[in-house]
Amino acid sequence: MSKQSNPVVPAEPLVLGKMGSTYGIRGWLRVFSSTEDAESIFEYQPWFIQRAGKWQVVELEGWKRHTQDLIIKVKGVDDRDAANLLTNCEIVVDSKQLPPLEDGDYYWKDLFGCQVVTTSGYELGKIIDMMETGSNDVMVVKANLKDAFGLKERLIPFLDGQVIKKVDLTTRTVEVDWDPGF
C-alpha cells in the first residue's frame, strides 16, 4: 500500500489560461494564456488543474511557440489520447506566486467586486469581469438592481486617466468619468 501524500491545493486559485486542443501525436497541447504577455504564463509554476473535482499539479516538460500558438508538453502525457483528457482544463496558479506589484498597480482579480461610481456620484454597479479587446481592456459592470436607466450590464473601457479617474482598493471603488445612460 503506497502512502497517500496530501494533495497540493492552491491557497488563492487564479485562472491564468486554458489548455486547448491536442497538437500532433506525441502528447503536445495548445495553450491559451490570459497573461498580458502570453509567454509569461510559463513563469508561474506550479500549474494546477482540476479533474473530477480534484486538484492536480501539472509539470511541464517543455513549451514552444508554433506559428500563432503556444504549445506545451506535460510530463507523463506522451500520446494524443492522454493529451485529449487535458483539453479545456483551466490553468490555475496560486496567486501568492505572483510578483508583488509596485504602488498604484493591481491585478485584474483585485478589481472584481469593486463598486464603479461616476465622478458625479452615480453608482453604476460592480465589476464582474474584465475583457481584453484589441485596443483596450473593458470592465464588465453588473448594474445595480434599481438602475435608473434600466441597464443590466455596462461595458466601460478601462482607459486610465481618460475614463478611469481613480482606483481605490481600500474602499473597493473605481471612479469613472462615464455617462450612466451608456
Cell numbers that stand for 151 in this block: 441597464
Conformational region of residue 78, where left means phi above 0, alpha means psi within -120 to 50, and beta covers everything else: alpha
Say whether both 134 and 93 belong to one domain.
no
Q: What is the pLDDT of residue 7?
A: 54
Task: Say if residues 130 and 143 touch (Cβ distance below 8 Å).
Answer: no
Domain count of the chain? 2
Structural domain ending residue among the three candidates 97, 132, 158: 97
At 136 the pLDDT is 84
Q: What is the pLDDT of residue 15?
A: 87
Domain residues for the domain of 137 are 108-176
Average pLDDT for runs of 10 along the chain of length 182 = 56 89 95 86 91 91 91 96 94 85 80 95 94 84 92 93 93 96 88
pLDDT of residue 1: 43
53 found inside a domain: yes
Q: Do 116 and 140 reside in the same domain of the chain? A: yes
- In which region does residue 40 sit, left (phi positive, over 0), alpha (psi from -120 to 50) or beta (all else)? alpha
Whether 55 maps to a domain, the answer reads yes
- On whether residue 6 sits in a domain, the answer given is no
The helix (run of H) or strand (run of E) holding residue 125 is strand 123-132
Same domain, 131 and 153: yes
- Boundary of a domain, candidates 97, 120, 147: 97
In a domain, 4, yes or no: no
CATH code, domain with 158: 2.30.30.240
In whole angstroms, what is the distance from residue 168 CA to residue 177 CA? Answer: 15
Residues 130 and 160 in one domain: yes
157 occurs within a structural domain: yes
CATH number at residue 79: 2.40.30.60
Q: Same structural domain for residues 77 and 114?
A: no
User: Burial of 48 by CB count in 10 Å (0-12 exposed, 13-18 middle, 19+ buried)?
Assistant: buried
- Model pLDDT, residue 11: 85
Whether the bond between 46 and the residue before it is cis, its omega within 30 degrees of 0, is yes
Tell me whether residue 119 is in a domain: yes
